[in-house]
Chain A
């Protein structure tokens, strides 16, 4: 056993870190959100420059514009992005739609969709969640009905993250009423400006931008179907496996804790640095230990992926569990340390750390992307520990 990085891996980390330290303006910090025309233009331009260096797609094969790196090296690149507070507008294209197209797309789709994603020229939304398909993702109701050479889509998506104007929607649809429900689902790559699609802002606590998306008689060609009809659920799951990393959260959490520690070194309370309060330094130490656990568990999953031919698929993954557990417990600790000041927001001149901990407190209540922590536990219980599953209704969708 050894838990270090090779000199090649360390060199890659340094290369990516140096690049983004050069590229990011000195007045950017990870807690800034970007909504305006000029901010979008900045990110699109940086995305394009990084795309030219193939930094957006470290894990993709070289023939698709990637760096052809393994999952550990890919994890390092994502870790640095998280540390620097980089959120690519291309997001869902890089993580999901692109890999899915590489795995299941036709030559035409690959030629049309892949180069713009790899070059950082397109913005993607992941349109999966619906009002009746949250934890029960297989219950999607957005209907796609064949009509000659086209499909016609009707329905609604909800809690779809994004604030940059999208180019494409990576969309899960219902194409057959069967039992079990996940055998009647298909994936589509849908141009975002197709007539009949409308977007409605759905702002969340803490400022994360999400959207309701309505589909009214939206007509797309059969070329929009990704992979096999009614195999969409399996394709989507295979892609989650392929692109699972989570190291961007390691980077962002490491930076968040570091920033809080630096705050506690500078800030005083009763005339003494906060960090000299034994209760505070104990809290900081506990969070540092938690961070080590999160790193070890996350890299374990990534390492396993490099060994999957020898070890087979990993029966369970605890990285998301710990991520969600620690993020909430750490925010609670930080809020306790800030006391009454914890509620002051950015625009108050009295706010500590620009109100960052306050906005995170709100975000902790929106922290359900990819499933609630309760859903993870049920999955780990069944797949990891082999405990019996409660019977679920498997009736057809209405």
Chain B
């Protein structure tokens, strides 16, 4: 048991904090909000130079072989700074899937480019109907069809809320090439040009301003060589990346919640009304404490999942628990911060709380909300079994109903006897009458 970060992780945390405070300022964030793409290639290049794009990849592909825990430390800082970047899409969701399922040739071709900042990827998984029906992040929600036609496949269908599709060079498309015994069977991953003929990408207006797109595939022809992994066996490697991704979104929420907490506590200490700081009022204190408890619990449940993933331990339940808890806890933490700042917390041109809050909604929903992940946890809970029973000889000590057990200790025995006596007297009076 060790709740502290390693020396190297503390260093990464500090480097990231310093860099992002310098580069990802409030002015930059507002600039990106107004920008059509919401993406700075210049900053993306700097992330590559810092080694952040290669963090989880082996050295042979230009990476530094970092663990999921290292990645979580970085994501906490990126969440704190609200860094607008396609890091999650490119490095985690698409990148780790390619690392896990891609052919050696694909990995040698794609990963070094990705690590150098020359390749932005987006994961096209969720579909309009499935997002509405509640199975957007489940294999049963994948209906976009890829039909084999000679040496190529023809893709037809729509994806919705595809993050970073509008700035991606290539899309990692999750499509159905067949049906099988389970919804996982027949899911195939394709890597295709985002600008391929027949692909239409339309960014949508959302709370967070993060421009997730509708992507329509209209008779898009791709070669069979664009398949990543086994045809029909794409779900398993993708699910592993989705799990890491969900924990990374949790880490972002931890960083973001921590920043909101600091803003709220600072305001409670410095804002004076009725001649005293508002933080002296217990209602305000309670909001601050509830903000803290939600952030702190999120931190440990997130890092526990990251630890399990790092050590290659079974982690499906822990990752789901982390996303289920943190999705709700982060929204609550931000809500309490808003309550403390009140009028000082909602000006769009003034302060970062509105930005934290709006991005929080996207983070809560992305890669599955609490309901989605609780369904996963529920599957594990259903498997819980009865614990071993005591093996000592039967005592018979608890056979008598509790209300008839005579207490041993005098004050309680006397009380018991008094009550019994009154009951008896009542009974006698009734029978006499």
**A residues bordering B, Cβ < 8 Å?**
1-5, 20-28, 32-40, 42, 72, 83-84, 163-165, 199-201, 207, 209, 211, 255, 258, 261-262, 265, 275, 281-282, 284-286, 288-290, 292-293, 296-297, 299-300, 303-304, 307, 318, 321-322, 346-347, 374, 377-378, 380-382, 384-390
Q: How would you classify the secondary structure of chain A's contact residues: helix, strand, loop or mixed?
A: helix
Q: Which of A34, A285, A385 contacts B324 (CB 8 A)?
A: A285
Please indicate the chain B residues that have their CB under 8 angstroms from the CB of A21 in the complex.
388-391
Given A25-B392, A281-B381 in contact, is the A35-B300 Cβ separation under 8 Å?
A: no
A–B pairs, 28, beta carbons within 8 Å: A3-B303, A3-B304, A22-B390, A22-B391, A23-B392, A24-B390, A24-B392, A25-B390, A25-B393, A26-B391, A26-B393, A32-B398, A35-B407, A35-B412, A36-B406, A42-B397, A164-B408, A165-B408, A261-B384, A281-B378, A284-B378, A285-B374, A289-B374, A293-B300, A347-B402, A378-B285, A380-B293, A384-B292
- Is A381 within 8 A of B397, CB to CB? no
Residue of A whose beta carbon sits closest to that of B298: A293
Residues of chain B whose beta carbon lies under 8 Å from any beta carbon of chain A: 1-5, 69, 265, 268-269, 276-277, 279-282, 284-286, 288-290, 292-293, 296-297, 300-301, 303-304, 306-307, 311, 318, 321, 324-325, 371, 374-375, 377-378, 380-382, 384, 386-399, 401-403, 405-412, 415
Instruction: Give Cα distance in the complex from A182 to B141, angstroms.
Output: 64
Inter-chain contacts of A33 with B (CB < 8 A): 402
Whole-angstrom CA separation of A23 from B389 in the bound complex: 11
Kindly list the 4 A-B residue pairs having the minimum CB-CB distance in the complex, ordered from nearest.
A381-B285, A24-B390, A25-B395, A296-B300
Asked if A39 and B397 make an inter-chain contact with CB atoms under 8 angstroms apart, the answer reads: yes
User: Whole-angstrom distance from the CB of A333 to the nearest CB of chain B?
Assistant: 13
Nearest B residue (CB) for A33: B402
Determine how close the nearest CB of chain B comes to the CB of A314; give it in whole angstroms.
11
Q: Are B402 and A346 in contact (CB under 8 A)?
A: yes
User: Most B CB atoms within 10 A — which of A35, A285, A300, A382?
Assistant: A285
Tell me whether A388 and B280 are in contact in the complex, defined as CB-CB below 8 angstroms, given that A2-B1, A72-B1 are known contacts.
yes
Chain A residues whose CB sits within 8 angstroms of the CB of B324 once the complex forms: 285-286, 289
CB distance from B276 to the nearest CB of A (A): 8
Q: What's the nearest-Cβ distance from chain A to residue B15, in Å?
A: 18
Q: Is the CB of B300 within 8 A of A300?
A: yes
Nearest B residue to A23, CB-CB: B392
Closest-by-CB residue of A relative to B403 is: A347
Would you call B303 and A381 a contact (CB within 8 A)?
A: no
Contacts of B402 in A (CB 8 A): 33, 207, 346-347
Determine the chain B residues whose CB is within 8 A of the CB of A20 once the complex forms: 390
